[in-house]
Amino acid sequence: MIKVTKTYLPNKEKYQKYVDKIFESSWITNNGPLVKELEIRLAEYLGVKNIILVANGTVALEIAYRTLGLKGYVITTPFSFVATTSSLVTNGLHPIFADIDPRTLNMDTNKIEELITPNTSAIVPVHVFGNACEVEAIGEIAKKHDLKVVYDAAHAFDVKYKGVSILNYGDISTLSFHATKLFHTIEGGALIINDDSLVKKARYLINFGIESPMSIPELGTNAKMNEFEAAMGLCMLDEMEDISKKRKAVYERYEKELRGLVEIPAQNLHSTQNYGYFPVVLKNEEQTLALEQALNEKEIFPRRYFYPSLDTLKYIEPKQYSPVSRDISSRILVLPLYPELEEKDQMNIINIIKENSGI
């Protein structure tokens, strides 16, 4: 069976050595030495100043909103994983959807300003499938209207924009290190905070709001990463070069074989690729479902990602309609892509697509 992704597991002996160390020290959570080491190594690897590791990418978003004190309405994208929007709603914020650009699948920056009201506090764009947003245009709009910007960069690990980390844009960027991501810590996530003065507050927020045994200045939660997760991250980091090389080969084979046959979203020309996902957009939903079924019959499981469009969620208030996002959601498939995907299996997938893409 071939699924859309397969969790990469690094060298077992190396992981075992970290586990032995954890057992020796009995320090398994609460900002332990491996979490601290991973924060230092990741900051250097990614080229960022302040990184805080947390329990997952969803809570990273929640902490970002609370660190910045967001209120009222937040402009975001309807084409993302549900956590981008549900994290807003669970924090008492109202998502207002700026529809997407059908070529890049990112938030259409021309649609943001018309949605801004005196009750808008922030913009939460997503670098969808690791494809960088138009960060300069978004930055200008935010500055003009005095809005905060939180980038959901769950897919954008190690993406560079004009030579620097994409994570350095906006007030805060968040990452997900879930097992399905190209870099993972089993479960996990991170905040990248560009304003040094906010770091302390975010650190309190991930640890129940506690500053010291005698002082609890913030209303916090428990968002801590544990030592076993950090150990996984340290092992993964040692293998990233090889992981990226293998992913690139798979990605480029799809691109070579499928370009012109199916629509491949346009890449931001100022940014690098991290080869995290290979989405294809079909002509219509009928063709998409037929292709999905043809692949499923051969035990191949692409994912309708992202589906459904988030403006269709029943808990969204006020009700909204994002036609471009709904259209793309109905006819997109993300193809299997992981380092160990064998060439013969990938060619099998490609051939099924060639037979079913309607050309």
Ligand X SMILES: Cc1ncc(COP(=O)(O)O)c(C=O)c1O
Residues making contact with ligand X (CB under 6 A):
56-58, 80-81, 83-84, 126, 152, 154-155, 176, 178, 189
Q: What angle do CA 116, 118, 120 make, to 5 degrees?
A: 55
- Closer CB to ligand X, 84 or 165, in the complex: 84
| Smallest distance from ligand X to CB 137, Å | 20
- Closer CB to ligand X, 108 or 152, in the complex: 152
| Smallest distance from ligand X to CB 206, Å | 14
Output the furthest CA–CA distance in the chain (Å, rounded): 69
Residue of minimal Cβ distance to ligand X: 57
| Smallest distance from ligand X to CB 140, Å | 24
- Closer CB to ligand X, 176 or 325, in the complex: 176
| Smallest distance from ligand X to CB 286, Å | 27
| Smallest distance from ligand X to CB 4, Å | 12
The closest of 352, 156, 133 to 254, measured between CA atoms, is: 352
CA atoms of 63 and 313, how far apart (whole Å): 23
| Smallest distance from ligand X to CB 109, Å | 18
On the 0-12 / 13-18 / 19+ scale of CB atoms within 10 A, 206 is buried
| Smallest distance from ligand X to CB 121, Å | 20
- Closer CB to ligand X, 80 or 322, in the complex: 80
CA atoms of 206 and 191, how far apart (whole Å): 11
| Smallest distance from ligand X to CB 159, Å | 13
Q: CB neighbours of 179 closer than 8 A, spacing ≥ 6? A: 7, 186, 187
At position 270, the amino acid (one-letter code) is: H
